[in-house]
Structure 1
Amino acid sequence: MRITVFGATGGVGRELVRQAVAAGHEVTAVVRDASRLPAPLSGARVCAMARLDDPEALREAVEGRDVVLSGLGSRGRKADGVAERLTGSVLAAMEAAGTRRLVVVSAAPVGPRPADDPLPDRLARKVVGAVLKEIYADLTRMEAELARSATDWTSVRPPKLTDGPLTGTYRTVVGGFPRSGRTISRADVAHAMLALAGDPAAVKQGVGVAY
């Protein structure tokens, strides 16, 4: 596949590029600072852009691609609307270029959780939700942008991210979330995103992923 990855210097983005290159895909990594790319990503074509909020500038990076993968999001607790704003630019560029398939990373609290989740899990979510409310609000608005778009989107919603290894063993629930799912590695989130890119059942759906 011909793949473009946004947010390629982030934890999930680096894994997306690494795994896609290893699988033999033709990969374009879109970054603002190419010096932040580690050496293992050298198998990808690097597209450095000073601004990611200009749809016209992004069009070249998405035109003719089979799928666009996005790890864009806030790097801290202050979201500043980054996921909504930058994903909106990606969507506009894709629609102008006629590129259809988009898979983005979001977060578990944005989607529905199992009604029978254990009480400790529900209490923990309330605490985390209060601390990271700006980030989740930004991701909620981002998903609303996806729903209004003409793209064939999928939003992948992980719980707490870790720097653990790629296992390829995790649970996914289309339109929901795995019961008692608490963590997942960034490497496995990337693995799930690449797998879901070719899954018709995941189109225009949120997908919960967790161990």
Structure 2
Amino acid sequence: MELTVLGATGGIGQEIVRQALDAGHRVTAVVRDPARLTVTGARLEVFRADLTDPESLRPAVAGRHAVLSGLGARARKDAGVAARLTRTVLGAMEAEQVRRLLVVSAAPVGPGPEEDTLLDRTMLRMISALLKDVYADLREMEEELAGSATDWTAVRPPRLQNKPLTGSYRTAVGGFPPRGRFIARADVAHAMLAMIDAPETVKQGVGIAY
């Protein structure tokens, strides 16, 4: 497949690029600073773009089978970036009639499982309060997706870890796996690539956790 990866220098983004290349896909990695992309490969194109301008992004998404985005706030001070940049992405994709889009959101944005313990629910409330601006940004991003013409999927992980790929995790379309507290960035990337051709995930939030 021909794939475009946004936020390609981030933790999840670099994993998407690496795993996609290993699987034999052709990848366009959209970056602001090419020096920060450590992944290399014969089927990799590095594309420098202004993510505030849909016109500058159009060549990076034109003709692609799917766009995968790891864009989002890296700290509380960056709250607002996910919704703002996703609007740019949607503008470019709709102009080029590219439909499949997968993005990274977060577990607190979606509904929690009824089976969760009191401890799990308490922890979720504390985290949601601490990072309320970040999660408000992600909710706005998902609202933008819902109003778009794209075949979108919002992948909602819990606490992210820098650990090796396992390929073994749980997913819940429209919900979240019970007692799911952690997931490696590498496994989030793995799941996003696997969901490209999964029709049940289209126009859905998908919870993912170990």
TM-score normalised to structure 1 length = 0.97
Distance (Å, rounded) in 2 between the aligned partners of 1:41 and 1:179: 37
Deviations 1:114-169, CA, capped at 9 Å, x for gaps: 12211111111111111111110000000000000000000000000000110000
- Structure 1 residue 7, shift from structure 2 partner: 0.1
One-letter code aligned to 2:168? T
Asked if 1:173 corresponds to 2:172, the answer is yes
Instruction: Provide structure 2 residue ranges, at least 5 long, that are not aligned to the other structure.
Output: none
Counterpart amino acid of residue 110 in structure 1: V
Residue equivalent to 2:24: 24
Distance (Å, rounded) in 1 between the aligned partners of 2:40 and 2:204: 29
Q: Is the 8 A contact 1:79 1:138 kept in 2?
A: no
- The runs of 4+ residues in structure 1 deviating greater than 2 Å are 40-43
> What runs of 5+ residues in structure 1 fail to find an aligned partner?
none
Letter paired with 1:117:
D
Percent of paired sites with the same residue? 63
Q: Distance in 1 between matches of 2:136 and 2:186?
A: 25
Listed as ranges, the matches of 1:17-166 within 5 Å are: 17-38=17-38, 40-43=39-42, 44-49=44-49, 51-166=50-165
Q: Counterparts of 2:179 and 2:131 in 1: how far apart (Å)?
A: 20
Retained in 1: the 8 A contact 2:21–2:41?
no
Cα deviations across residues 3-33 of structure 1 (Å, max 9, x unaligned)?
Answer: 0000000000000000000000010000000
Contact preservation (8 Å) 1:112, 1:176? yes
- Residue in 2 aligned with 1:197? 196
Shift of 1:79: 3.0
Quote the offset at 1:192 in angstroms.
0.3
1:80 deviates by 3.5
Deviations 1:163-197 (A, max 9, x none): 01100000000000000000000000000000011
Counterpart amino acid of 1:162?
Q
Report deviation, 1:42: 3.8
Q: Letter of the aligned partner of 1:88 in structure 2?
A: R
Distance across 1 between alignment mates of 2:11 and 2:41: 16
Please give the root-mean-square deviation of Cα atoms over the aligned residues, in Å. Answer: 0.8
* Paired position in structure 2 for 1:2: 2
1-side partners of 2:178 and 2:52: how far apart? 36
Structure-2-length-normalised TM-score: 0.98
Between the two proteins, the alignment pairs up a number of residues equal to 209
Between the aligned partners of 2:40 and 2:71, the Cα distance in structure 1 is 17
Q: Which amino acid aligns with 2:69?
A: S
- Whether the 8 Å contact between 1:14 and 1:41 is mirrored in structure 2 is no
